[in-house]
């Protein structure tokens, strides 16, 4: 990334070369077009421009020309800045993606991570990956690995990787500091009582507990020597605050469970509201991005940093990605897996990255799709189609073509010459060559096509010849050879009797409009692929003509997953 000075110098040299003398305002204008975020510090920019222009105007012509050679001015396509940040300084931006390793990443996480990554890149800054792993009940190494794998697959490169649970001693220190300053206290009220009082805007007796007593109780809870109470640490906020988040939120609670990374070292675990601002601040994050539903929590985020005297990152909120009839949340996906309604995190109906990948959705399509919403807060609920359209654009130029007939119906054609059909592997790519298929009178066509044929109708077996339909019976169709010309409107894909049995899993919307699970969401379609289908490699996406793009999921059973129409 070029610096402000560098860009000013480049345009000053050019301006001086073209007009004899450089003009500071002209130079600054050009510079801002290339680096709009510099508008945030105009005074500094103008001052630098004046200095640089003076220097350049003093140069002799050969010197000027020599310096100019270092720069190129051809109308280079300006890299589109998808993400603009307020108060961003070139080279000094730090963002972070902070997933909780409590499930596999989904396309919503892809949106957040891409925004974090693009924001950092746009300003020549850094992006951190931080696992917010302070709930031993929900987290595991499997999920950490899945998140890293998902991000890497998307093409996101993080500059550092940290784990909030590694900072527990630091977080404990800050908690004790809060207790000391009277900004937090131990509360032992039962949960419903706490909730009820919070609703009423009333404090409880624990609120008046002496700092020294809270400190003592806190230490016992940390040690877990059996003498501790089942309390929580609460922030001393305002019990009648209009923003209910500020009504003495819980900061720490006891969870006695083995943590996947820290083992049994800790029993008091911080909540998101406590650890997020502290970690962001300590890790040098300048722009902390999160989804809009956190907006009410901004006040708490800043209050905690205020009372601890820590540097405040800038919070930026963007809209949460939602897709029609898809569960874009671990909270919704986890029970579907637990109840066996889907077959795991990579079930092709899920919006997880593992599922989308397995299904043949390309990472570039996901990037394009999620970034198309930008940093805005506007809510929208696109359907899967929008993503599929993007994906198709990428697949179409390269996917090899094959004939596949779903729910095959036999077709016997009489009087036809034996022939070898020569079919293009790709309609637009000559170099891809041809595949061949023998035609000796016995064919299979798709069940849907067969159902639509009328007796006496003439149609073409694509790439072969015309057939006139004579009879329809339970055992199949019969027809007669009807020559080569003219080309009838109806052209059908076909396979011969050497075709291979295949199945296609067709994922459809997992949820109904009502949000309920749709048990008919996975269609399993039987069919036949032309013999040349043995060439398809595991993981390859091909186009079954007039059927759709499919990815070979399991070579042994010739199982495909329907990728895209």
Our finding on whether 320 is near ligand ATP (CB under 6 A) is yes
| 74-80-86-88 Cα dihedral, nearest 10 degrees | -50
Q: How many residues bind Mg ion (CB under 5 A)?
A: 1
Cα distances from 304 to residues 188, 431, 497, in angstroms, run: 22, 64, 73
Our finding on whether 100 is near Mg ion (CB under 5 A) is yes
Our finding on whether 99 is near ligand ATP (CB under 6 A) is yes
Q: Which residue has the tokens 């001052």?
A: 47
In the bound state with Mg ion, the residue whose beta carbon lies nearer, of 12 and 276, is 276
Our finding on whether 291 is near ligand ATP (CB under 6 A) is yes
Applying CB under 6 A, the span of 321-329, 389-397, 487-495, 515-523 interacting with ligand ATP comes to 321-329
Contact 287, 119 (CB under 8 A): yes
Alpha-carbon distance of 66 to 54, in angstroms, equals 18
Strand pairing report for 250-254 and 268-270: antiparallel
Contact 82, 118 (CB under 8 A): yes
Applying CB under 5 A, the span of 96-104, 260-268, 428-436, 483-491 interacting with Mg ion comes to 96-104
Our finding on whether 111 is near ligand ATP (CB under 6 A) is yes
In the shown chain, the binding pattern of residues 35 to 74 toward Mg ion, with x for contact by CB under 5 A and - for none, equals ----------------------------------------
Alpha-carbon distance of 466 to 462, in angstroms, equals 9
Residue 250 belongs to what H/E stretch?
strand 250-254
Our finding on whether 109 is near ligand ATP (CB under 6 A) is yes
Our finding on whether 321 is near ligand ATP (CB under 6 A) is yes
Structure tokens at 541: 């996406």
Residue 258 belongs to what H/E stretch?
none
Binding at 290: pick from ligand ATP, Mg ion, none (beta carbon under 5-8 Å per type): ligand ATP
Binding at 234: pick from Mg ion, ligand ATP, none (beta carbon under 5-8 Å per type): none
Number of residue whose CB is nearest ligand ATP? 108
Our finding on whether 98 is near ligand ATP (CB under 6 A) is yes
Q: How many C-beta atoms surround the C-beta of residue 66 within 10 A?
A: 12
Helix (H, G, I), strand (E, B) or coil at 294: helix
In the bound state with ligand ATP, the residue whose beta carbon lies nearer, of 291 and 559, is 291
Applying CB under 6 A, the span of 118-126, 179-187, 322-330, 540-548 interacting with ligand ATP comes to 322-330
In the bound state with Mg ion, the residue whose beta carbon lies nearer, of 315 and 467, is 315
Give the max Cα distance, the chain. 101
Cα angle: 519, vertex 513, 290; to 5 degrees: 105
Q: Which among 409, 335, 377, 395 has a CA at the least distance from the CA of 544?
A: 395
Applying CB under 5 A, the span of 60-68, 93-101, 180-188, 455-463 interacting with Mg ion comes to 93-101
Give residues in contact with Mg ion (CB under 5 A): 100
Give residues in contact with ligand ATP (CB under 6 A): 98-100, 108-109, 111-112, 290-291, 320-321, 328-331
């Amino acid at each position: 990334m070029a610096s402000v000075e560098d860009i000013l110098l480049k345009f000053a040299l050019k301006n001086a070369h073209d007009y004899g003398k450089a003009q500071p305002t002209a130079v600054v204008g050009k510079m801002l077009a290339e680096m709009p975020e510099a508008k945030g510090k105009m005074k500094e920019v103008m001052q630098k421009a004046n200095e640089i222009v003076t220097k350049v105007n003093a140069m002799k012509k050969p010197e000027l020309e020599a310096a100019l050679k270092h720069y190129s001015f051809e109308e280079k396509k300006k890299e589109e800045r998808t993400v603009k940040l307020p108060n961003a300084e070139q080279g000094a931006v730090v963002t972070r993606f902070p997933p909780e390793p409590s499930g596999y990443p989904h396309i919503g996480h892809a949106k957040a991570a891409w925004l974090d990554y693009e924001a950092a890149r746009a300003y020549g800054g850094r992006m951190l990956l931080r696992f917010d792993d302070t709930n031993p009940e929900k987290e595991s190494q499997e999920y950490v690995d899945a998140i890293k794998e998902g991000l890497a697959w998307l093409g996101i490169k993080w500059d550092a990787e940290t784990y909030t649970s590694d900072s527990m001693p630091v977080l404990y220190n800050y908690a004790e500091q809060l207790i000391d300053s009277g900004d937090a206290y131990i509360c032992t009220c039962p949960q419903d009582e706490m909730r009820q009082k919070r609703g009423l805007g009333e404090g409880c007796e624990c609120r008046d507990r002496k700092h020294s007593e809270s400190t003592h109780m806190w230490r016992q809870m940390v040690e877990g020597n059996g003498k501790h109470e089942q309390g929580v640490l609460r922030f001393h906020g305002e019990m009648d605050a209009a923003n209910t988040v500020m009504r003495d939120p819980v900061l720490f609670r006891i969870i006695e469970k083995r943590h996947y990374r820290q083992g049994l070292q800790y029993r008091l675990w911080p909540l998101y509201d406590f650890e997020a601002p502290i970690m962001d601040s300590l890790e040098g994050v300048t722009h902390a991005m999160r989804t809009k539903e956190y907006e009410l929590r901004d006040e708490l985020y800043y209050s905690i940093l205020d009372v601890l005297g820590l540097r405040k990152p800038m919070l930026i909120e963007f809209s949460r990605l939602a897709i029609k009839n898809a569960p874009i949340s671990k909270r919704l996906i986890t029970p579907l897996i637990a109840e066996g309604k889907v077959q795991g995190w990579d079930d092709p109906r899920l919006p997880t990255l593992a599922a989308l990948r397995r299904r043949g959705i390309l990472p570039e399509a996901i990037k394009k799709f999620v970034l198309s919403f930008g940093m805005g807060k506007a809510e929208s609920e696109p359907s899967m189609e929008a993503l599929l359209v993007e994906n198709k654009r990428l697949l179409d130029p390269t996917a090899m073509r094959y004939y596949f007939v779903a729910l095959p119906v036999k077709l016997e054609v009489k009087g036809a010459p034996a022939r070898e059909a020569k079919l293009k592997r790709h309609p637009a790519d000559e170099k891809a060559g041809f595949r061949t298929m023998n035609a000796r009178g016995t064919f299979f066509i798709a069940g849907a096509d067969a159902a639509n044929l009328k007796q006496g109708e003439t149609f073409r077996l694509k790439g072969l010849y015309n057939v006139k339909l004579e009879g329809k019976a339970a055992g199949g169709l019969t027809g007669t050879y009807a020559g080569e010309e003219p080309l009838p409107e109806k052209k059908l894909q076909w396979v011969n009797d050497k075709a291979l049995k295949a199945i296609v899993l067709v994922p459809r919307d997992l949820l109904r409009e009502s949000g309920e699970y749709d048990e008919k969401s996975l269609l399993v379609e039987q069919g036949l692929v032309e013999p040349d289908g043995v060439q398809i490699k595991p993981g390859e996406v091909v186009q079954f003509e007039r059927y759709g793009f499919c990815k070979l999921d399991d070579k042994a059973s010739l199982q495909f997953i329907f990728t895209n129409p």
